[in-house]
A and B are shown apart, each in its own frame.
Chain A
Amino acid sequence: MTLPILSTVFPRAALFRSHRRLFTSQPARETPQLENIGFIRAYGKPVATIFLWSALTYMSLQAMWSKLYFDEVRLETEAKIDKLNEELSRIEVAATGGHHSRRLFATETDPAATMEPKPERRVRKEFAEKLKGGPGFGDFVTGMREPLTPEQAMQQAEAVQSKIPGNSRLPRWLKTDIPTGGNVTKIRKTLRELKLHTVCEEARCPNMSECWGGGKHGTATATIMIMGDTCTRGCRFCSVKTSKTPAALDAAEPENVATALAAWGLDYVVLTSVDRDDLPDFGSAHFASTVRNIRERAPQMMIECLTPDFLGRPELIEPVALSGLDVYAHNIETVEALQRSVRDHRANYKQSMFVLAHVKKTKPTLLTKSSIMLGVGETDEEVLQTMKDLRAVGVDIVTLGQYMRPTKRHMKVHEYVTPEKFKHWEQVGNELGFLYTASGPLVRSSYKAGEFFISEILRKRSAVAAAKALAAEGRDGSNLRDISASIATEERKKAALDSASL
């Protein structure tokens, strides 16, 4: 082995190894004579080695072969046993008339058969044994120890039915489509990709398919929920998850949300959040930062924010109010008398009114908005008073909607207010002087907010006037913000003239 390798690298050395005599001056030695040591001594060792190795090989081959053979035999025998058992059970079944296990039906069909005890089954495998010893069907189906008679079953069904009082059935005007369809799935996918939550999904809004589907202007509205999907408050009407210690804020959320929304290309976005009473600033800085980021990345987008009450602290309300949004919304939810009953104990009427008043004081050009839920036990006088109070603090937009019970664990609906009644409230709102009133059973704070806002503004002040005003100021006027800004300016000028002439 070494010689061939050596010869290639060191040819002289290789030659030296094999032909030493050529390199030495020693005389050639005589070839030694081999002494006769005998046959056995000569061949004993190699023969013994060969014998030993072949013996070992033979024995291992034997072992393998016999294992395979016995496996085969074992399986054959088992198959034979199975066949015999099958035959046996078939005979048994024939003997017991076709019912070889106890089956439970809601109503009795054949008392004799179901009352028979379960016949013994030949246990073939360990697993079958284990199953037999464990729970049976009856253990999983509670309350069905005895099958019911048809009369008993009907009674039970009726008992459940009668628990739903007549006035709790959902009126036909509140029936909505289940949110499905191309646009809804597309938006849902986009939201998950961009890691956004929406209050639409978290609070189970009935309008999801309509808003996400896009209205007649083709503008889809989605209300993005920031600061997580878990709230620290537990209001009786809201199905958003509640916890005393929700997950910490995501510091990258303001940027991510802004990038996502800018990429999405919406015209009008509504931002809302959960209450974060666990944070020192109640989430105010985070909220304001998100709005600022959106403003930076999408200057043309109209932003509406539905904010928490920040426990009525002015220094926490101001940053959000001044962050660059277009509409500041905070919901009064219900009338004064029902505040303690309907909302979380940390929320109250005066506090929410203060929030709206303070926003107006901080930035008078900011539009403020609030919402009232009807059908939780309020009276008409109370609703009127609430609307008057809202107008008194300068709220520009008010929405009224029907409270709908999100789950069984939430407050019952006291009354389903008719669409005609809602129309009445819309008139009242207009008479009281709100910039616009959205009132209907399915109306929510941000229900088609973009659409309503624009169509109402454009309806009140004709588009011609708006365009004229814009042309006069020399602006392009192709985007909604400019249109609404110019209309608002016109309004204010007009209001100033009116008050001056009074």
Chain B
Amino acid sequence: MLSKEVTVTFIEPDGNEVQATGEEGTNLMELAHENDVDLEGACEGACACSTCHVILDESVFDSLPEPTDEENDMLDLAFGLTDTSRLGCQVLLTPEMEGMRIKLPSATRNFYVDGAKPSHH
């Protein structure tokens, strides 16, 4: 009667780990918000910004469907982009993701907050 619940772990930039349980089909950004994880969503899932950028495990990343062109365009603007980055609002929970570890990027493009200088890719 109830849809499958999936538990994943968010790893915040400071190392703090947050266990989050959500229903199948919830996107990662919403799941983070429900669990008070520090993930922004400036455009509320409209794929118009890069603030919900998350870094996934390689195995999970490969099993996900390919990102759309719009998502790729927005991802290109994200700070700290990695090979296994996705926009959190475009990734939906599936039972195969049980136990997945989701890393939040170490910083946003707010250089003066963390005192870091941008490095060239």
Contact = CB atoms under 8 A, between A and B. Distances in A.
Interface of A: 134-135, 139, 142-143, 160, 163, 232-236, 238, 241-244, 337-338, 340-342, 344-345, 376-379, 408-412, 414
B42 A410 contact: yes
A232 B42 contact: no
B85 interface: no
B40 A409 contact: yes
B46 A234 contact: yes
Contact of B43 (A163, A242, A377, A414): A242
B112 A410 contact: no
A135 B2 contact: yes
A407 to B, nearest CB: 9
A414 B48 contact: no
B41 interface: yes
Contacts of A234: 42-44, 46, 48-49, 51
21 contacts: A160-B36, A233-B48, A234-B43, A236-B40, A236-B42, A241-B44, A242-B42, A242-B46, A338-B110, A338-B112, A341-B108, A344-B49, A345-B49, A345-B77, A376-B110, A377-B112, A377-B113, A379-B112, A408-B36, A409-B44, A411-B51
Nearest to B41: A409
Contact of B112 (A143, A337, A340): A337
A141 B21 CA distance: 13
Nearest to B108: A341
Contacts of B48: 232-234, 242-244, 344
Contacts of A377: 110, 112-113
Contacts of A409: 33, 40-42, 44
Given A135-B2, A234-B44, A344-B49, 20 more contacts: A139-B2, A142-B21, A143-B21, A160-B36, A234-B46, A234-B48, A235-B42, A236-B40, A236-B51, A241-B44, A242-B42, A242-B43, A242-B46, A244-B47, A340-B109, A342-B110, A377-B110, A408-B33, A411-B51, A412-B38
A163 B46 contact: no
Contacts of A341: 108-111
Contacts of A236: 40, 42, 49, 51
Nearest to A134: B1
Contacts of B109: 340-341
Interface size range of chain B in the complex: 20 to 34
B58 interface: no
A458 B113 CA distance: 41
Interface of B: 1-2, 21, 33, 36, 38, 40-44, 46-51, 70, 77, 108-113
Q: Please classify the interface of chain B as helix (H, G, I), strand (E, B), loop, or mixed, using the class held by over half of its residues.
A: loop
A338 B33 CA distance: 25
Contacts of A142: 21
Contacts of B77: 345
Those 10 A-B pairs whose CB atoms lie nearest each other, nearest first? A234-B43, A234-B49, A242-B43, A341-B109, A409-B41, A234-B48, A242-B46, A236-B42, A234-B42, A341-B110
A246 to B, nearest CB: 10
A236 B77 CA distance: 14
B70 A242 contact: no
Nearest to B50: A345
Contacts of B111: 337, 341
Contacts of A337: 111-112
A408 B32 CA distance: 11
Given A232-B48, A345-B77, A411 B112 contact: no
Contacts of A378: 112
Contacts of A340: 109
A410 B40 contact: yes
Contacts of B2: 135, 139
A411 B40 contact: yes
Nearest to A245: B46
A160 B18 CA distance: 12
Contacts of B1: 134-135
A412 B36 CA distance: 13
A43 B2 CA distance: 77
A362 B78 CA distance: 37
Nearest to B73: A345
Nearest to B74: A345
B119 to A, nearest CB: 15
A241 B45 CA distance: 10
A163 B113 CA distance: 19
Given A341-B108, A345-B77, A243 B33 contact: no
A163 B111 CA distance: 23
B42 A411 contact: yes
A411 B49 CA distance: 12
A337 B77 CA distance: 16
